[in-house]
């Protein structure tokens, strides 16, 4: 097979980081989302888009480059994190890549995402790989620890070597309409991140309405977020296509008004190759092929890579491997 990978990472060097903007209450007040229309649009994506054979293999290899390979479990250990990093450095077995004609492609995930306690371990394990470490921070997953503690946690993760910080908003600020409070808190988090990119987790399943999701997205982008992310993966409702549409359309609106490109990260419950292809089709339709690059789109996932590798093996051998033959950790 001769694969052409969808999308390009060439925009990374030209990507301008979000400098942040003043809180615009008039803009915020104009954000209204039509839930019924979003549901209708979301319902058409998986039904209309189907990628087959060699094209599917190319899209799935691209999907690997968009994964934040994640382990956020209460029983994580240094050993588990090292195994996760080893998988990140070799996400697809060499014989599968050879069978796909993709041996010369540098396939690696967008980042490895861990708790602060394991940042130093992951940084050491990934040394020389070019794969950044992302740390969840600010009282993950609820974001309700004292503000001073959350700021210190960000700074500690950056000092330990994290290049990306996934911070959590206080959902109560959205539900009570405290937009100024949310904006100021996001500004403080962004300052604490320094050169590390800030990925802002909205906890969309707990924000009650799509209009709240849209407003929270805008406030976080105005405050300097580099990415907006759906979920911690710990909520009852995590990423879905309807909420993805809301957030992508806010990113597009923000880009049209400011010229600044903001990244998008759906997280929680995305575990199959089919799901990944559906989200990629949605991003391509709404934002264009340019957004299918690691600096603008990531999946937050722990088991997605396993199913992608199974699908790629089927492309080469005609057989599916059992999950336990492709363990992450």
130 sits in the region (left: phi over 0; alpha: psi -120 to 50; else beta) called left
Is 265 designated active site? yes
Q: Which two tokens stand for residue 178?
A: 């405290």
Report the distance separating Cα 87 and Cα 114, nearest Å.
14
Is 89 designated active site? no
pLDDT computed for residue 109 by the predictor: 97
56-113 pLDDT per residue, tens: 999 999 999 999 999 999 999 999 999 999 999 999 999 999 999 998 999 999 999 9
Task: Assess whether pLDDT exceeds 80 at residue 192.
Answer: yes
**pLDDT > 90 in the chain, percent:** 84
Helix (H) or strand (E) holding 79: helix 78-89
Of 62, 87, 163, 166, catalytic: 166
Using an 8 Å Cβ cutoff, are 88 and 112 in contact? yes
159-171 pLDDT per residue, tens: 999 999 999 999 9
Backbone angles phi, psi at 238, to 5 degrees: -110, -140
Task: Assess whether pLDDT exceeds 80 at residue 5.
Answer: no
**pLDDT > 70 in the chain, percent:** 91
Query: What residues does each domain of the chain span?
Result: 25-50+112-301
Q: Is 165 helix (H, G, I), strand (E, B) or coil?
A: strand
* Residue corresponding to tokens 């008039």: 26
Of 62, 87, 163, 229, catalytic: 229
pLDDT computed for residue 12 by the predictor: 54
Task: Assess whether pLDDT exceeds 70 at residue 28.
Answer: yes
What's the rounded mean pLDDT across residues 42-56?
76
Task: Assess whether pLDDT exceeds 90 at residue 154.
Answer: yes
Of 62, 87, 108, 265, catalytic: 265
Report the distance separating Cα 82 and Cα 69, nearest Å.
12
Which CATH superfamily does the domain covering 25-50+112-301 fall into? Aldolase class I (3.20.20.70)
290-326 pLDDT per residue, tens: 999 999 999 999 899 999 999 999 989 888 876 666 6
pLDDT computed for residue 329 by the predictor: 60
Is 290 designated active site? no
244-294 pLDDT per residue, tens: 999 999 999 999 999 999 999 999 999 999 999 999 999 999 999 999 999
Task: Assess whether pLDDT exceeds 90 at residue 37.
Answer: yes
Mean pLDDT (the chain) is: 92
């Amino acid at each position: 097979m001769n694969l052409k990978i969808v999308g390009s990472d060439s925009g990374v060097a030209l990507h301008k980081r979000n400098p942040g903007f003043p809180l615009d209450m008039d803009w915020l007040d104009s954000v209204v989302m039509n839930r019924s229309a979003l549901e209708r649009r979301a319902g058409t994506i998986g039904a209309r888009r189907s990628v087959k054979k060699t094209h599917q293999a190319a899209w799935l290899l691209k999907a690997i480059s968009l994964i934040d390979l994640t382990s956020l479990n209460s029983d994580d250990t240094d050993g588990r994190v090292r195994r996760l990093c080893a998988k990140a450095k070799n996400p697809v077995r060499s014989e599968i890549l050879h069978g796909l004609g993709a041996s010369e492609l540098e396939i690696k995930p967008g980042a490895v995402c861990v708790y602060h306690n394991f940042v130093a371990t992951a940084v050491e394990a990934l040394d020389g790989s070019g794969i950044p470490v992302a740390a969840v921070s600010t009282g993950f997953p609820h974001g309700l620890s004292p503000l001073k503690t959350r700021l210190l946690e960000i700074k500690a993760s950056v000092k330990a070597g994290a290049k990306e910080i996934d911070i959590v908003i206080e959902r109560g600020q959205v539900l009570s309409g405290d937009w100024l409070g949310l904006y100021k808190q996001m500004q403080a988090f962004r300052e604490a991140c320094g050169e590390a990119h800030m990925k802002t987790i909205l906890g969309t399943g707990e924000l009650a309405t799509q209009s709240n999701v849209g407003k929270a997205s805008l406030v976080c982008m105005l405050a300097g977020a580099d990415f907006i992310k759906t979920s911690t993966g710990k909520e009852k409702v995590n990423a879905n296509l309807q909420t993805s549409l809301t957030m992508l359309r806010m990113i597009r609106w923000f880009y049209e008004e400011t010229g600044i490109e903001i990244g998008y990260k759906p997280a929680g419950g995305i575990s199959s190759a089919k799901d990944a292809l559906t989200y990629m089709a949605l991003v391509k339709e709404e934002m264009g092929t340019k957004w299918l690059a690691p600096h603008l789109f990531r999946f937050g996932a722990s088991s997605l890579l396993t199913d992608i590798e199974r699908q790629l093996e089927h492309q080469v051998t005609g057989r599916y491997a059992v999950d336990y033959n492709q363990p992450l950790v």
